[in-house]
């Protein structure tokens, strides 16, 4: 009999706990609403903005300067035996607008190489206003013989760009990085000859 009473008492406690949990869940909704009213932030709507592809409630980017366009020209300096070029030669963008372009590269040598690109800008005063969010120039790359790659450049032109700057040229110089892979055959021969000469003079 005592065990039965204990079981009934435990069951009652569990029922109370479950009812309390449901009640707390329902109480969260008005609690969130009160927080939204106090802070001015629609917390309940934030989850909608996190759903991929849901743009119905997303506000437009008010930082885009729709009153003018800037022509961005792309150039590539290939200092070596490889093919390196932009996929497009120029685009027109509005300051504050996110733009992505692609650069194409192929190692046409019969050996592995390591390389990196360095950007430059014209006119020079445009440089601090050219903000790259993603760029292959941030890293070095090792490419196998004949390997082809495509790399993106994602950028935003600062709306504070001087009004008289209407065209910006983005140029990349792609060069081989030494010490990452075995040197070219000619370099190896030169190094061997130098080593031999050094050993001969020491003798």
Tell me, what's the pLDDT at 176?
84
Q: What is the CATH number of domain 70-178?
A: 2.60.370.10
Which candidate, 82, 81, 103, 163, places its Cα nearest to that of 129? 163
Token match 């629609």: residue? Answer: 42
Tell me, what's the pLDDT at 62?
47
- pLDDT tens string, the chain, 203 residues long: the values are 667 676 677 777 776 675 666 555 445 445 544 554 454 444 443 433 443 333 333 334 448 888 999 999 999 887 677 888 999 999 999 999 999 999 999 998 898 988 888 899 999 999 999 999 999 888 888 989 999 999 999 999 999 999 999 999 999 988 888 744 444 444 433 343 344 334 444 44
* Dihedral sign for Cα atoms in the order 145, 150, 151, 157: positive
Tokens representing 51?
A: 């759903």
Burial of 112 (0-12, 13-18, 19+ CB in 10 A): middle
Tell me, what's the pLDDT at 179?
46
Tell me, what's the pLDDT at 18?
59
| Residue extents of the structural domains in the chain | 2-48, 70-178
Tokens representing 76?
A: 């590539």
Tell me, what's the pLDDT at 17?
73
Tell me, what's the pLDDT at 69?
95
Length of the chain: 203
Q: What is the pTM of this model?
A: 0.56
Which candidate, 49, 94, 88, places its Cα nearest to that of 71? 94
**Rounded to whole angstroms, how far apart are CA atoms 129 and 126?**
5
CB 142 within 8 A of CB 180: yes
């Amino acid at each position: 009999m005592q065990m039965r009473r204990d079981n009934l008492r435990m069951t009652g406690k569990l029922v109370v706990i479950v009812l309390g949990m449901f009640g707390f869940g329902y109480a969260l909704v008005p609690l969130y609403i009160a927080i939204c009213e106090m802070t001015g932030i629609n917390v309940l709507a934030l989850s909608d903005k996190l759903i991929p592809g849901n743009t119905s409630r997303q506000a437009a980017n008010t930082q885009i300067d729709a009153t003018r366009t800037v022509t961005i020209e792309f150039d590539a300096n290939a200092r070596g035996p490889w093919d390196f070029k932009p996929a497009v030669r120029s685009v027109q963008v509005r300051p504050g607008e996110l733009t992505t372009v692609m650069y194409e590269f192929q190692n046409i040598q019969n050996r592995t190489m390591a390389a990196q690109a360095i950007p430059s800008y014209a006119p020079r005063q445009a440089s601090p206003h050219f903000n790259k969010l993603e760029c292959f120039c941030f890293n070095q790359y090792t490419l196998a013989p004949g390997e082809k790659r495509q790399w993106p450049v994602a950028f935003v032109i600062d709306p504070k760009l001087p009004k008289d700057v209407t065209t910006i040229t983005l140029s990349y110089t792609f060069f081989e990085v030494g010490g990452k892979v075995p040197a070219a055959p000619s370099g190896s021969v030169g190094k061997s000859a130098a080593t031999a000469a050094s050993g001969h003079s020491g003798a």
